[in-house]
Structure 1
Amino acid sequence: MTTRKKAAIIGGGVIGGGWAARFLLNGWDVVISDPDPDAERKIGEVLANARRSLPALSDCTVPQEGNLHFASSIKDAVQDAGWIQESVPERLDLKHKVFAEIQEHCPPDALIGSSTSGFKPSELQQCVKKPNQIFVAHPFNPVYLLPLVELVGAPDTVERAKAVLDAMGMKPLIVRKEIDAHIADRFLEAVWREALWLVKDGIATTEEIDDAIRFGFGLRWAQMGLFETYRIAGGEAGMKHFIAQFGPCLEWPWTKLMDVPELTDELIDTIAGQSDAQSGMHSIRELERIRDDNLVSMMRALKARNWGAGALLADHDERIKPPLPSDITQPLQTLHRVIPIDWTDYNGHMNESRYGQVFSDAGDVVMAMVGADAEYIDGGMSYFTVDNHIRYLAESVAGDEIRVRTQVLEAKGKKLRMYHEMLRADGELLATCNQLLIHVSLETRRSCDPAPHVLAKIDALGEAQAKLPQPESMR
């Protein structure tokens, strides 16, 4: 295959722009051909989103961005291109015309992918000089983030395409036989068709249907797909038991979908055998733990964005979180929680950065105690951490129940110094942190005196805590 790393994007709409971003941010030079006079502006807006999101998926240095150019014609765009991606509207006659012009001017070994969501390769290849050069490369929006690409075409061509996509961090799925709408869109169309009936018949609103997906099976599908999810539903007896229990209801008139195949013994054995090959290396208990860990990680990620199921978790936390400590004459119990799976690293214990988060969260409790809460911060004043000294004394792993005990060492004027002890539920000291915060104006980003009501609470807290003996772990 050619070693050139130049991609030509024919059609710069939503999908074409996403392809351009995916290639460009993976170090490819990109040339775009689109007759729309606003193409450069639209592509620029897509790239702005991609530049802030795609690199955030990586925990290492991403490739240097390639060069972006706009061509005045298909001829100028495809010369010397190693990959050519057609993303013009879904009109077969238009695609045929575009492919003919591409093949007239492109290198003979260039890969020519089509973003079509429905046409088969045999339909795209009609009346072209080199049919096997053209294949389906059907992505999902946004192309620069979602990894799946369905590949359909000549085996040697799609294998070459797969190598390119693998190198860009995507998930090429080679479709075994060509079929209208490939694989994923057939599922989507089935769900979409049923959703339209539910709305038309007054059964559910569009929001209620979306909630059914994003708060329910969508979370399971996102990390295990369909068959592995149902394998777990079958319990220890596995897929055969699931089909035996729920298969007959497929013949009931529950939905307005198309007919289902007859569940013969042969078909059941085929599905069960494929499920064994896919997941049989794990016990049901192991699969449940994998599933649960994945769900916790995904839902916590949504929680950080306060979106979907994550917003539900955040609301629940607000309801169940304990009241702020009220006895300021004793060490303050500022945190009580369990270590989540997404806080652990390759060593199987909590990553050192998360200790900082634990102590930061504990410090936030003290801030709220003195009145520097969310409303205060919205008003333009807050505390910034300017110094942290953390000692790591023992390991903490996912599932550990921890508490943080906090003692205020200094609370006067702009300064708030705290000493935190992180302990496991059994009392073992895991880590300590000496933390200094300075009060600031969020407008000037400089230190300033707290508001009078906060200052009064700071002074009272500092005086009460100064009477406590020094923590043993400081001695």
Structure 2
Amino acid sequence: MTILSEVAVIGAGVIGAGWVARLVENGVNVSLYDPDPETPRKLGEILANADHAYGRLTLAPRPKKGKVHHAATVAEAVAGKPFIVEAVPERMDLKRRIYAEIEAANTTATIASSTSGILPTDLQAEMAHPGRLIVAHPFNPVYLLPLVEIVGGARTEPGVIAAACAFYERLGMKPLHIRKEIPAFIADRLLEAVWREGLWLINDEICTTEELDDAIRYGFGLRWAQMGLFETYRIAGGEAGMKHFIEQFGPCLAWPWTKLTDVPELTPELVNRIAEQSDAQSGAYPVRALERIRDDNLVAILQALKAQDWGAGRILAEHEKRLFDLGAQTGDPDPDTSRPIRTFTGRVAADWTDYNGHMNEARYLQVFADATDAFLRLIGVDAAYVQAGGSYFTVESHLRHLDEVRAGEPVRVETRVLEGKGKKLRLFHQFRHGDGHLLATGEHMLLHVNLGTRSASEPGSHVAELLGRIAAQHAELPVPEGVGRAVGQPR
């Protein structure tokens, strides 16, 4: 399934709004129904946080944002939509009533329930078209965390699951197909175990809510974030591996360490204790501020894991490759190659600036690198081409910094081909403010490389043909000011 352009979402609570944010940020228009009159305000605040997070998450070109239509009824929201996200409260009677309303207006769409534990077979029980229902259980914040648990019911059509998994991958997610139905699926069963033990530790006054959170976020939580449970314990087994770890620590499971077979009674006293400790821990922050702090931390972790090509960072990197290959909103969708080609369009991000509030010099080079990548994709050097063993490597760069630019200001890059024949590619980038004045220039020499031999090689025929055509067109243009300039060279 390619990425869809229209999706319906029923329910705009924390999870439903998170789905709307992920869809909108990936260029999908959303038709939303929620009876809460406060929905536009609440959703607007979450969309603002998602926009802030995505602005820091990736330097890949972001698709043009999808639009949100607030529908007056379920029928209006789902009419004609190929995919429907159900994110209403965890009440079977409510979900079944919503499905009946959906089926009265739409008999062909896939329905994806966001339930965190109800079995899809039970959800399907009263449906006229049960084969199109799946569970697609995400994790908060939906717009950042990539995992989505996919569960089919007894009557779910296999093709629906496969198509849904492909769709979620296009949204930058990691679909985990759970082949056997089980209440609460996989992740929430693990979370429930930790939650139950945490309640006992608070109930028995062993620690406060803050101390318990500290044990997770400064300890095993960091390990889990990038390796999970079993891979972490495999390392704990040392050179002898997992078998040694189980032999050494397995007997501990028989010790009376936990109370996971029981749960404390949630008396008013215990509930108040937890609430008071939580207020002392986090009450200084409004919920939207906490969400933004959480998002900033998650972005940092995801970016760090991407640099290591590991775990959730690998999912982010793969999604960025798709975005770069699409070239979404980076420049002209159908460029006139007889003129300088717009290869980058955007605004200066806040974290691109130094203490003076100006874009720092490293980011100038980064923008030129992104512009080069956009041009390479234009001539056919995309992820598939690189996977097949061909690419261009930069061997020399000359930058001129001509003016300052501040956070939030619009910028663009226009690219000229100075040379494009054989193994050589020489590009000249002009980095301009949105008003047109020149901020910097970058001249870059690249060589085509065979990635198998790591040596210079001739590009593929289709790449050479496209590049040669553009180079010939650009040879007819006036030579731009600054070409060939190096440090210390007289004007």
Relative to the length of structure 1, the TM-score reads: 0.55
Given the alignment of the two structures, is residue 249 of structure 1 paired with residue 249 of structure 2, yes or no?
no
Number of the residue aligned with 1:78: 78
Higher relative contact order (CA 8 A, sep 6+): 2
User: How far apart are the structure 2 equivalents of 1:99 and 1:49?
Assistant: 30
- 8 Å Cα contact 2:226-2:305 kept in structure 1: no
- 8 Å Cα contact 1:5-1:81 kept in structure 2: no
- 8 Å Cα contact 1:88-1:95 kept in structure 2: yes
User: How far apart are the structure 2 equivalents of 1:91 and 1:172?
Assistant: 25
Question: Residues 343 and 11 from structure 1, CA distance in 2 versus in 1: closer, same or farther, beyond 3 angstroms?
Answer: closer
Question: Residues 3 and 141 from structure 1, CA distance in 2 versus in 1: closer, same or farther, beyond 3 angstroms?
Answer: closer
| 1:205 CA drift (Å) | 1.0
User: How far apart are the structure 1 equivalents of 2:224 and 2:308?
Assistant: 24
| 1:56 CA drift (Å) | 2.5
Number of the residue aligned with 2:16: 16
Deviation per residue, 1:313-371 (Å, 9 max, x gap): xxxxxxxxxxxxxxxxxxxxxxxxxxx999899xxxxxxxxxxxxxxxxxxxxxxxxxx
| 1:3 CA drift (Å) | 7.7
> Counterpart of 1:8 in structure 2: which amino acid?
A
Q: Where in structure 2 are there 5+ consecutive unaligned residues?
A: 263-292, 310-354, 366-400, 405-487
User: How far apart are the structure 2 equivalents of 1:124 and 1:180?
Assistant: 12
Number of the residue aligned with 2:407: none
Given the alignment of the two structures, is residue 149 of structure 1 paired with residue 136 of structure 2, yes or no?
no
Counterpart secondary structure, 1:198: helix
Counterpart secondary structure, 2:62: coil
Identity rate, percent: 55
| 1:67 CA drift (Å) | 1.9
Higher alpha-carbon Rg: 1
Question: Residues 383 and 221 from structure 1, CA distance in 2 versus in 1: closer, same or farther, beyond 3 angstroms?
Answer: closer
| 1:388 CA drift (Å) | 6.7
| 1:132 CA drift (Å) | 1.8
Number of the residue aligned with 1:36: 36
| 1:105 CA drift (Å) | 1.1
Question: Residues 138 and 384 from structure 1, CA distance in 2 versus in 1: closer, same or farther, beyond 3 angstroms?
Answer: closer
Number of the residue aligned with 1:327: none
Deviation per residue, 1:172-215 (Å, 9 max, x gap): 11112111001100000000000000111111111111000000
User: How far apart are the structure 2 equivalents of 1:389 and 1:7?
Assistant: 39
- 8 Å Cα contact 2:3-2:171 kept in structure 1: no
User: How far apart are the structure 2 equivalents of 1:34 and 1:71?
Assistant: 8
Number of the residue aligned with 2:324: none
User: How far apart are the structure 2 equivalents of 1:385 and 1:137?
Assistant: 43
Number of the residue aligned with 1:122: 121
Counterpart secondary structure, 2:149: strand
Number of the residue aligned with 2:186: 183
Say what the alpha-carbon RMSD is for the aligned residues. 3.6
| 1:55 CA drift (Å) | 3.8
Question: Residues 69 and 243 from structure 1, CA distance in 2 versus in 1: closer, same or farther, beyond 3 angstroms?
Answer: same
Question: Residues 6 and 59 from structure 1, CA distance in 2 versus in 1: closer, same or farther, beyond 3 angstroms?
Answer: same
Question: Residues 242 and 40 from structure 1, CA distance in 2 versus in 1: closer, same or farther, beyond 3 angstroms?
Answer: same
- 1:311-330 pair list within 5 angstroms: none
Counterpart secondary structure, 2:27: coil
- 1:280-291 pair list within 5 angstroms: none
- 8 Å Cα contact 1:3-1:82 kept in structure 2: no
Question: Residues 76 and 231 from structure 1, CA distance in 2 versus in 1: closer, same or farther, beyond 3 angstroms?
Answer: same
Number of the residue aligned with 2:203: 200
| 1:86 CA drift (Å) | 0.6
User: How far apart are the structure 2 equivalents of 1:128 and 1:389?
Assistant: 57
Given the alignment of the two structures, is residue 166 of structure 1 paired with residue 159 of structure 2, yes or no?
no
User: How far apart are the structure 2 equivalents of 1:179 and 1:56?
Assistant: 37
